[in-house]
Chain A
Amino acid sequence: MLAYRQKSKSLILLCILSLLILGGIRPALAHGYIIRSIPEDRAILQYSPTRLQYWFSEALEARFTSLEVRDQNGTTVATGGVDRDNNALLSARLPRNLPDSVYIVDMRVAFSSDGHVIAQTRTFVVGQAVGDVAAGELNSQVNGLEVIWRVLVISSTMLLFGTFVIYQAILIPAWGNTAYHAGLLPSRVMRRLSLIILIALIISFIGNVVAILQQTMSFFDTGLEQVISQNLWSVTRVGTRFGDLWNGRMLLLGLVSLLFALSRRWNEEHPKTVRPFWIANVWVMALVIGTLSAGSHATGSLTLIWVAIFNDWLHALAVGAWVGGLGALVLIIPTALAPYKDDERRLALLAVLRRYSRLAAACLVIVIATGLYSAVNWIYSPPDITNTDFGRALLLKLLLVGGLVFMGTMHHMAVRPERYQRWQQLTKRFSRFCSSLRLEALLALGTLAAVGLLSATPVPIPYFIQDSIPAPSATQTLDNLSVNLTITPGGTGTNTYDLAIARGGLSLNDATIRLQMVNPERDQRSKWVEVENASEGLYVGVGDEINRTGKWWTLVDVTSVEGSIKRFAFVWDVTDTATIQSSQPPRIQHIVGLMMVLAALGYVVYPSAKRIYRRLDLNPVNVTILIATLVATILLSAVGFIVIQNAQNQFESTLNPLPQIVNSVLPDEASLIIGQKLYQQYCTDWQNINLNGFIERLPRTRDEQIFATTRDGGADVPACNKILSEMQRWDLVNYIRTFER
């Protein structure tokens, strides 16, 4: 009757867990998201844009990522793909002068880290909005199959790792018997352990095979039959980052299988090799878990990416030892204790549970600390917990972990009745162990399923991501020549320069265009950038000339086929908001979280450190040398750091000192005309000497130096007339700069 009631309880718990997990399953979405789009979604643009650019928070798989632009009639007007120099940028060049219409941008995006594929639609309007289109919704192409393989792979991997850890750290020290050469445990226990490992390995291989098939179905947007018959899965395996991680994982699982198979094969001939093979597998399984972390949410962390990956790995290892170990223990105990009854059975159980309890406590400390770090890494504001799928999946996992912690605490107290006498009433129900351990194992299974669900759930998009900042753009007209310049994204770092040139309203295709970026406040200017003629009056270029925020000028020289040169000058105020922020500095929560993880690690390694400490020879001389070495190392490191910083600052200020006097006149066509007149009128001496040396030095000469030369004269050139005002002198400087042409 009692057994029936226990079974009923387990069944009810299993049903509740299944409902919770299934209720939590949403169509799995990708981990990455758009951090900037140009033009922004649903933008209404006066002029046709020259290109579309979408920056994502993670690297994309170029082979499986595409972009298509359609007009309102459904005609494809442009296609695009992943940028050659930036694998997180999806872009397309648009034809010149798109007619007024609503344009639909269909993106099919495959993320490198986890292989997730999403379809996303965005729209923009050129001119007046015509008609209406539904857009902006994120459509997932991933089905529940992904959640299933994730649960299979994670559960079996954790069970494998937990089994090998439990064997090494719990079963051998607690039950080991040198009378049994093969594995140091009775053959019935070794057979049961082998069966668990074999089944977990089979599930793991099946889960991984389903993973590559499902991933290929997503990548190619096709069915299982084509994936297998056309060998498409091998394309995913060889040509994607998901496939590379998969290869690594399968290789390591193959190694685990090989070591396990050898231990079984030599069970009779070389029984003493069984234990070494199994213990070696602890390390290999830790690497297998590492491949899961290398494809987890952590690789998309905006803050301290390597810390996030190692934190995730540490978390997974602790969960594996704790939860996987519990699963293994529950499956072994009935077989192991079958020959024992009453006190002997209880003693044998206590020997294992006391050790497991210590291991679980250490793992729990790490799980909590690393889990908190992960939470602060992904939860940016409290509403993210309740308003996002990730927050809800996290809550579900926390609920199950809370149940596990409660059960674990009860067992921890029940195995040490002498220490927790006052709680005896409470722990009495758990002192039978076997039935309550089964319940705990069921909760552990549910927790692993929740982990699988969480890993397939997209992280919240940070509130500070503003993907709708328009790229700076301006148009200037001189005589009948018009130049529209767009700098994308318009922040510091790499930008694209799109110039649309027209003469009398018609595209100008035979001109030579070059541009230069100038920072007047620092008296710095880039080299001239030649822009490429794309088509229909569109000229494009790329460069990283903008290296700091502040006021910038863009000088554009348009040279016609007749040889005449026109100067266009644009003024920009470059701010940090336009810069693509692919990473974020750590916040105070990250620092606190990291300290907690380090403290947890310190707590776990403390007993081992204490043992090592006892073996040390701590006589006064050794201690003095140790302290002196430590202090000297810290001091030298600090001094070295400060010296390097100072040297770098000094180098920067020597190379690019702030100008004493700043050019305050924009070098546009009007300024050049004034400057030319002033030159002809007041720099008559210059016109009678050879200026070749001066002109040759011009690209390396700062504006303030030219200014001083026109005022005071230089090494090989005389001063111009001294009656010039400051503004006139700057016009003159701007004109003299054209000698470089």
Chain B
Amino acid sequence: MTIALSHQTSTKLKNPKKHNHYGFKDFYQFDPDSGTIVDWNNSQNILTSEDFIIGLIEGLEEEVGDASAATMYTIGCEWGQKDAFFFEKWFEKEYDRSMRQTNLMFLLETWWWSFTAQGWGRWEVDLGDRKQGFMFINVFDSAVARTLGDVGKPVCYLYAGLFAGFFTELVKKQLSCIEIQCYSMGETYCKFLLGGQERIDAASFWLNEGATARDIEKRLRSGELQ
């Protein structure tokens, strides 16, 4: 049975076209009777603790070992691809315009705001290298990295997959993503590289050889792998 969820707080009913609806009270509608938490875009949310995230990651590691990173990435990819369609619907409804006729940065900020409101962290997108076929995304307060703490290796495979999936659908071209710097490596924020498979494979190789995010940025910007 499918239950149609609909966000019907007084804020939304009074002002359905309000765009700055990401404050906690505006964004979520808690219904204690049905036990649901519905966000502004009528999507159902669940609250989880850090223990849940640890359980998810460690449980997966126990089940599939080293393949857990690839599994999380794949889950992220599917999530991102599905979310691209979901986003397209609510964006066009809220802004009365096609996604394709919108300023790209504005579009991306709008996409990520739901994630920010849901606790996935703030982000910063650097489109400066887009014409060269790659871009960088910084994530501050990654829910996964913040939970696991300093474990000496990148852990945000779910995010990398999410970006790969979403951007692949957005630009209709197969893209991959790799986390090249992580809060869980003792850095202050996480950094992701998004681009074609060849570039991501190269970055992965350089990373294994001990390169830092800065080294990778330099190598890509200097035109290696054009």
- A, B assembled together: no
B residues with a Cβ closer than 8 A to A are none
A residues with a Cβ closer than 8 A to B are none
